[in-house]
Amino acid sequence: MSAGDAREFDFDLVVLGGGSGGLAAAFRAAEYGARVAMLEPGELGGTCVNVGCVPKKAMWLAAQVAERIELAQRLGFNVPCPELDWREFVAHRQHYIANIHASYRRRLDDNGIVSIASYGRFAGPRTIETGEGARLHAKHVVIATGGRPRRPSIPGAELGLVSDDFFNFSAAPGRVAVVGGGYIGVELSGVLQMLGSCVEMFVRGGRVLQGFEQELAEHLEEDYRQSGTVLHCGAGVRAVERDADGRLRVVDGNGDAHGGFDKLIFATGRQPNTERLNLEAAAIETDAGGHVRVDDFQNTSVERVYAVGDVTDRVALTPVAIAAGRRLMDRVFGGKSDACLDYDNIATVVFSHPPIGKVGLTESQARERFGDDVHVYRSDFRAMLHALADVPQRSLFKLVCVGAERRVVGIHLLGEGADEILQGFAVALKRGITLDDLHDTVAIHPTSAEEVVLMR
Ligand SMILES: Cc1cc2nc3c(=O)[nH]c(=O)nc-3n(C[C@H](O)[C@H](O)[C@H](O)COP(=O)(O)OP(=O)(O)OC[C@H]3O[C@@H](n4cnc5c(N)ncnc54)[C@H](O)[C@@H]3O)c2cc1C
């Protein structure tokens, strides 16, 4: 079926958006035998594959390699000063992404999913119109249209870039201002600094990574300072201006000017893609931020219309969108009437340098909920490679436990390997383990991970 086909079609399911959540829902529904159509105007895979997790992690890996080469030099390897041919690396990155596109395309064909390269909009509660006027009538509709970067409303905002633009870079800019201290700002700053840029971060709040364990976030700030990143915390940005030499100047919240930037990147949050959906035609409710309102089962305000992923106001992560989409289809087409995603205790990692990860409650969240019944255990150590190379970087792991039985309610890791270590311990936390369970587990030595089972 072509997008220009101005006829009417019937499907069991129409999915709006071919990103993480939409693809997961479409594949799962097709596995149950549903007749599925999916509309996606851009590249398959959405934000995650094209301008999010995947290219970001590729750049992080490049930065890790650069860091490793520096460590190698300190340890006696005779290797020249690392310099990345950015264009060549991007060619490897995009080849990897092209393989993901091809694999999705194959799976869509194999599952008999009708894929339409078009925006979709509501023409009625479960009637979707393609860009070229075809009308799809569906028993069920999933909205999975994700989100996009948001620029602040300040003078000169148009002079700055957003995270999508970062993936078009073909070289490391000399001096970069990154506005925003959330995970995207922290990740982009880390990569750019490690790959040769001089980065200055402008953070509105008192510190980076609000919502993460405070002690670890402060530790990470110190790591960033040591690597040469300049942090301006607590001021925000009031305006961006272009100087006579073409470079950018940032006026911070206190009125102080910081000039000489080749590029400025706003990492100041994201907004949901709902404007083009014509939600009014179906009376689908949104919240004040434009997110589609959903209940615990991903139901919108309209019967048999659902929403998953970043277009809702839930945890904006790829595995969350995927899990929500799959559970939803298990319920709608798989006969599992109770299936829904448990949004508690979702583990998350920031690919900073070094990485930081968390699952469960921070110490302050636990104290708010459990008062004095909170017990905190920490391990502050140097990973073996860093000790061998005699670099100052330290790891900091923290456990938050509650009650006499010391039930583990929070695990927070900063340091080499934190990104890979956390997943297994997240399973344990979700199963309700106690500190004794960790102590009963024999350590794997010598690793950083063993610190988690040895904390006292
Ligand atoms: C820089 C960056 C780094 C990230 N890193 C990570 C990470 O490391 N780990 C992690 O878990 N998450 C990460 N995320 C978040 C993750 O990318 C998102 O949570 C995830 O992609 C959300 O999936 P989704 O299906 O809701 O939306 P998306 O993946 O954004 O997909 C939505 C799709 O809908 C399409 N669309 C929009 N409007 C319409 C319409 N009207 N009709 C049809 N289609 C439409 C869009 O073209 C898009 O392809 C990152 C995000 C960014 C920006």
What backbone phi and psi angles, to 5 degrees, belong to 38? -125, 130
16 C-beta closer than 6 A to ligand 1:
yes
In the numeric block, the tokens 């948001």 are attached to 150
Alpha-carbon gap, residue 124 to 366, rounded angstroms? 45
What would the two tokens of residue 369 be? 């909920």
Q: Note the pLDDT of residue 14.
A: 98
- Centre of ligand 1 from the C-alpha of residue 381, in Å: 36
- Centre of ligand 1 from the C-alpha of residue 20, in Å: 6
Most ligand 1 atoms within 8 A of CB, residue of 38, 122, 129, 145 to mutate: 145
What would the two tokens of residue 362 be? 């921070």
269 C-beta closer than 6 A to ligand 1:
no
- How many CB atoms neighbour CB 127 within 10 A? 17
Q: Which residues pair with residue 237 across a beta bridge?
A: 252
- Tell me the angle at which helices 363-370 and 214-226 cross, rounded to the nearest 10 degrees: 170
Q: Which amino acid is at 24?
A: A
- How many CB atoms neighbour CB 206 within 10 A? 11
Whether residue 150 contacts residue 23, with contact meaning beta carbons closer than 8 Å, is answered with: no
Most ligand 1 atoms within 8 A of CB, residue of 14, 16, 53, 136 to mutate: 53
Nearest CA to ligand 1 atom 1: 52
Q: Note the pLDDT of residue 3.
A: 45
- Centre of ligand 1 from the C-alpha of residue 175, in Å: 29
State yes or no: pLDDT of 406 exceeds 60: yes
What would the two tokens of residue 423 be? 């997943």
Q: Label residue 5 by pLDDT band (50, 70, 90).
A: low
- Centre of ligand 1 from the C-alpha of residue 327, in Å: 18
Indicate the average pLDDT of the chain. 96
- Centre of ligand 1 from the C-alpha of residue 52, in Å: 7
pLDDT (tens digit, 9 = 90+) per residue, 362-389? Answer: 999 999 999 999 999 999 999 999 999 9
19 C-beta closer than 6 A to ligand 1:
yes
Alpha-carbon gap, residue 184 to 180, rounded angstroms? 8
What would the two tokens of residue 300 be? 């919108």
Q: Note the pLDDT of residue 7.
A: 77
Q: What is the pTM of this model?
A: 0.96
- Centre of ligand 1 from the C-alpha of residue 81, in Å: 36
56 C-beta closer than 6 A to ligand 1:
yes
- How many CB atoms neighbour CB 361 within 10 A? 24
Alpha-carbon gap, residue 275 to 291, rounded angstroms? 10
438 C-beta closer than 6 A to ligand 1:
no
Alpha-carbon gap, residue 378 to 398, rounded angstroms? 4
Q: 185-189: which pairs have CB atoms within 8 A and are 24 or more residues apart?
A: 185/265, 185/267, 186/220, 186/224, 186/350, 186/352, 187/56, 187/60, 187/350, 187/351, 187/352, 188/56, 188/163, 188/265, 188/267, 189/224, 189/229
Q: How many CA atoms lie within 13 A of 35 on its CB side?
A: 8
Residue among 164, 218, 174 at smallest CA distance from 196: 174
Ligand 1 atom with minimal separation from the 270 CA: 53
What would the two tokens of residue 326 be? 């799959």
| Helix intervals (H) in 40-124 | 46-51, 53-74, 86-110
How large a percentage of the chain has pLDDT more than 70?
99
Average confidence (pLDDT) over 120-137: 96
pLDDT (tens digit, 9 = 90+) per residue, 190-224? Answer: 999 999 999 999 999 999 999 999 999 999 999 99
Nearest CA to ligand 1 atom 48: 46
State yes or no: pLDDT of 133 exceeds 60: yes
Please provide the DSSP assignment of 323-368 as one string.
HHHHHHHHHHTS--TT-----TT--EEE--SS-EEEEE--HHHHHH
Please provide the DSSP assignment of 12-33 as one string.
EEEEE--SHHHHHHHHHHHHTT
pLDDT (tens digit, 9 = 90+) per residue, 150-189? Answer: 999 999 999 999 999 999 999 999 999 999 999 999 999 9
Most ligand 1 atoms within 8 A of CB, residue of 28, 39, 48, 129 to mutate: 48
48 C-beta closer than 6 A to ligand 1:
yes
- Helix, strand, or coil (residue 403): coil
Ligand 1 atom with minimal separation from the 188 CA: 1
445 among known catalytic residues: yes
Nearest CA to ligand 1 atom 19: 317
Ligand 1 atom with minimal separation from the 23 CA: 25
346 C-beta closer than 6 A to ligand 1:
no
Q: Note the pLDDT of residue 81.
A: 79
272 C-beta closer than 6 A to ligand 1:
no
298 C-beta closer than 6 A to ligand 1:
no
Whether residue 441 contacts residue 449, with contact meaning beta carbons closer than 8 Å, is answered with: no
Residue among 188, 191, 183 at smallest CA distance from 160: 188
Alpha-carbon gap, residue 250 to 100, rounded angstroms? 38
Q: Note the pLDDT of residue 6.
A: 58
State yes or no: pLDDT of 226 exceeds 80: yes
State yes or no: pLDDT of 1 exceeds 80: no
Ligand 1 atom with minimal separation from the 184 CA: 1
Annotated catalytic residue: which of 95, 232, 375, 445? 445
- Centre of ligand 1 from the C-alpha of residue 162, in Å: 15
- Centre of ligand 1 from the C-alpha of residue 68, in Å: 31
172 C-beta closer than 6 A to ligand 1:
no
Q: Which residues pair with residue 210 across a beta bridge?
A: none
Average confidence (pLDDT) over 66-73: 94
Provide the strand spans (E) within 267-336: 270-272, 305-307
- How many CB atoms neighbour CB 79 within 10 A? 10
CB-based contacts of 166: which residues, under 8 Å, 6+ apart?
188, 265
Residue among 47, 91, 270 at smallest CA distance from 180: 270
Secondary structure of the chain: what % helix, strand, coil (to 5)? 35, 25, 40
Residues 276-285: b if buried by 16+ CB within 10 A, e if exposed:
ebbbeebebe
State yes or no: pLDDT of 19 exceeds 90: yes
